[in-house]
Amino acid sequence: MIELIVLDVDGTLTDGKIIYTSSGDELKNFDVKDGLAIASWTKKLDKKVAIITGRKSKLVENRAKELGVTHLFQGVDNKDEILKNILKEENLRWDQTAGIGDDLNDLKMLKKVSIAFAVGDAVAEVKEVSDVVCTKNGGFGAVREMIEYILKYDKQKGLKELWA
């Protein structure tokens, strides 16, 4: 049973575009369907979420708090090492973990999780190592698709409970 999902941000939770205003503020687009699924995963099902991303952004910190994300690590080069530490802290195993990503810096982590997901517009190398390639692109509901996929195959928790 999957207890922890691990998410990348740019290209996974967002469409990968980073927009800067003339005053230097950063803008990102997050999909509300992904948000509802993540918040329901954490708050209704009492499961864990880790965001591990290579960039740093106050926007990501705010979004993570809003969704009840358990672990947030930004500015990370070695995602699988961070994930290994999270598993130890949470007393979880790799086979209780699913992850989703889109680019080369997600490869090592995705090779270790129990179920690896690639967003629909992921690079070829990520798609090749993934168990499931989502039909949705990053920033357009791929994370929700991942969560729904996991729950369809989880015999103890179902989609009806998630959305109730």
pLDDT tens for residues 9-36?
A: 999 999 999 899 999 888 999 999 999 9
* Alpha-carbon 50 to chain mean position: 7
Task: Please report whether residue 102 resides in a domain.
Answer: yes
Strands (DSSP E) contained in the chain are 4-7, 19-20, 26-27, 48-52, 71-73, 97-101, 115-118, 132-133
Q: Give 113-150 pLDDT, tens digit per residue.
A: 999 999 999 999 999 999 999 999 999 999 999 999 99
With cut-offs at 50, 70 and 90, classify the pLDDT of residue 156. Answer: low
Q: How many distinct structural domains can be found in the chain?
A: 1
Per the prediction, the chain carries an average pLDDT of: 92
Cα separation of 1 and 36, whole Å?
Answer: 21
What's the DSSP call for residue 53?
Answer: -
Residue 155's pLDDT band, with cuts at 50, 70 and 90, is low
- Domain-embedded: residue 161: no
The reported pLDDT for the residue numbered 23 is: 92
Question: Does residue 149 belong to any structural domain of this protein?
Answer: yes
Kindly state the helix (H) or strand (E) to which residue 86 belongs, with its residue range: helix 79-90
Task: Specify if 80 maps to a domain.
Answer: yes
Residue 164: inside a domain: no
**CATH number for the domain harbouring residue 139:** 3.40.50.1000
Structural domain includes residue 162: no
Task: Label residue 62 by pLDDT band (50, 70, 90).
Answer: very high
User: Which of 94, 96, 95, 101 is closest to 133 using CA atoms?
Assistant: 101
163 domain-assigned? no
Asked whether residue 15 is domain-assigned, the answer is: yes
**Pair of tokens at residue 75:** 């500015």
Whether the pTM exceeds 0.85: the reply is yes
Domain of 146, in residue numbers: 4-155
Quick: pLDDT tens for 46-56: 999 999 999 99
